[in-house]
């Protein structure tokens, strides 16, 4: 998608489709209160063209509601699309992001290849540069489709997207915001493209190759290791997951080292990269197992975040560790009751782990990934994983889960959410959950029973993070979208990329 700003009045833009945004300005409440749709873009010609439909009562400006006008009088655009934002008082960057995605996805079944979107008038809550960044992100995310392998696939992507800005806008600031939006949106789509790949097309080895190609393209340092390195580092937890597969594991390391930054924090990003998860010997039911190709969404999110970080160039050092493997149930696979030894820390032996359920494998690879990130110098940690079904039970498909052992570190992440628009809810850690994973035969066990499953999984990782400031993101409920939404395609969501990037930038 070619993305650009224009400072021409929207009425003068020649385009196949001009999109404008409208909100419900009605503040009264009660059964007699009726929606009052109001255009948020200036210009007498725009308001005149939209007046009849806005006053008809047919269009209520609900969030992502659309109405299309052909040959709008007074405009050079062939069509005018009005996209609703919901209540005007509640409009924020995320609502604008979704509206832009809605406009782009509206074009697809109609084979409309170009559109312009009129920037809404700024408000105190969302300044113009934040509006531009959010809208561009939403447009790019909205353009992604998951039909990669259809033999009759037709390219219905938008070829040109223009954002109409006020003539008196700060052009340099808006151009910078546009560039940031493109980088972050394309990085989120990069993550989605990885998560969308079938297990036979994206093995751990191929994921490593994709990581190396991306790193070379954006200027990251990288290493990709396999079985020999796991044995050298004594990564017994990571290796135990991969030992049942014909496909070798991949230990992916990406480094962002900005010029002139030789001190300060080193941020460690650790991702679960299970390219297919059968559950191992504790095999999953067949229903929906095909979706287990998405079990590397945490690792893919870290790769997408590193892509964006390399291009945005924040002044902080970042290391990413992605632990990629298949979890398969052959004769070499680990068994319930086995005891595995995790990677040793610098000054102490590796923790021993009793395997209760081989389908609790993500925490095993992350355990060694976290220890390795610390060994590489990480002073602050964040991990992301499709770790537990329990997080979806706890939070539904609305929020992802977040855990942390450090309030100051988490406060930075919480602040980052205001920019990213993603929804995470902080969940508890505690000694009571740690008690549930104590083992009689070893140090810890890899599941803590039915109750508090997301919290006991987080406590398992806490054992390896120790006192290093650390955040754990359990994205299992949000990494895959099953229902049709007007602003994003069904399939991989790329959740986490935007929030991780903004967290890194806060340093």
Catalytic residues: 284, 363
**Cα radius of gyration rounded to whole Å, the chain:** 24
Report the distance separating Cα 180 and Cα 425, nearest Å: 26
The DSSP element (H or E) to which 409 belongs, if any, is helix 407-420
Q: How far apart are CA 229 and CA 48, in angstroms?
A: 68
Which residue, among 355, 280, 275, 290, has the nearest Cα to 322 in the 3D structure? 275
CA distance 456 to 433: 5
Q: Kindly report the CA angle at 466 between 465 and 470, in degrees rounded to 5? A: 45
What is the per-residue burial (b if ≥16 Cβ within 10 Å, else e) of 257-273? eeeeeeeeebbbbbbbb
Cβ atoms < 10 Å from Cβ of 62: 16
The secondary structure of 314-380 as a DSSP string is -SSEEEEEEEEEEE--STTS--TT-EEEPPPBTTBPPPEEE-S-TT--HHHHHHHHHHHHHHTT-SE
């Amino acid at each position: 998608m070619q993305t650009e700003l224009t400072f021409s009045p929207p009425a003068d833009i020649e385009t196949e489709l001009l999109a404008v945004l409208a909100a419900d300005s009605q503040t009264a409440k009660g059964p007699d209160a009726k929606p009052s749709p109001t255009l948020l873009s200036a210009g007498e010609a725009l308001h005149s063209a939209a007046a009849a439909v806005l006053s008809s009562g047919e269009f209520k400006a609900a969030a992502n509601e659309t109405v299309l006008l052909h040959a709008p009088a007074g405009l050079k655009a062939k069509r005018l699309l009005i996209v609703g934002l919901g209540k005007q008082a509640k409009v924020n960057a995320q609502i604008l992001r979704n509206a832009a995605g809605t406009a782009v996805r509206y074009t697809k079944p109609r084979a409309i290849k170009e559109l312009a979107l009129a920037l809404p008038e700024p408000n105190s809550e969302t300044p113009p540069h934040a509006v531009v960044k959010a809208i561009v992100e939403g447009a790019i995310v909205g353009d992604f489709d998951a039909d990669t392998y259809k033999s009759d696939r037709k390219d219905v992507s938008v070829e040109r997207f223009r954002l109409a800005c006020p003539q008196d806008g700060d052009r340099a600031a808006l151009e910078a915001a546009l560039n940031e939006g493109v980088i972050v949106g394309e990085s989120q789509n990069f993550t989605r493209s990885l998560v969308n790949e079938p297990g036979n097309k994206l093995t751990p080895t191929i994921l490593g190759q994709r990581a190396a190609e991306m790193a070379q393209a954006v200027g990251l340092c990288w290493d990709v290791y396999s079985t020999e390195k796991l044995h050298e580092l004594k990564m017994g937890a990571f290796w135990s997951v991969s030992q049942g597969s014909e496909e070798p594991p991949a230990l992916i390391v990406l480094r962002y080292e900005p010029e002139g930054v030789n001190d300060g924090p080193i941020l460690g990003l650790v991702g679960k990269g299970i390219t297919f998860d059968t559950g191992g010997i504790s095999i999953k039911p067949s229903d929906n197992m095909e979706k287990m190709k998405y079990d590397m969404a945490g690792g893919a999110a870290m790769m997408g975040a590193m892509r964006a970080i390399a291009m945005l160039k924040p002044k902080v050092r970042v290391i990413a560790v992605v632990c990629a493997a298949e979890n398969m149930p052959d004769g070499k696979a680990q068994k319930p009751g086995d005891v595995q030894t995790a990677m040793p820390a610098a000054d102490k032996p590796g923790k021993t782990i009793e395997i209760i359920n081989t389908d609790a494998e993500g925490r095993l690879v992350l355990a060694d990934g976290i220890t390795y990130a610390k060994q590489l110098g990480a002073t602050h940690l964040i991990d992301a994983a499709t770790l537990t079904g329990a997080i979806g039970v706890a939070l539904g498909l609305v929020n992802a889960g977040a855990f942390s052992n450090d309030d100051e570190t988490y406060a930075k992440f919480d602040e980052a959410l205001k920019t990213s628009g993603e929804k995470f809810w902080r969940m508890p850690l505690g000694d009571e959950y740690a008690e549930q994973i104590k083992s009689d035969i070893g140090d810890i066990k890899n599941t803590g029973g039915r109750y508090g499953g997301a919290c006991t999984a987080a406590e398992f990782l806490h054992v390896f993070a120790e006192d290093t400031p650390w955040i754990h993101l359990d994205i299992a409920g949000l990494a895959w979208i099953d229902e049709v939404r007007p602003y994003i395609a069904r399939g991989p969501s790329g959740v986490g990329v935007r929030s991780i990037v903004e967290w890194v930038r806060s340093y």
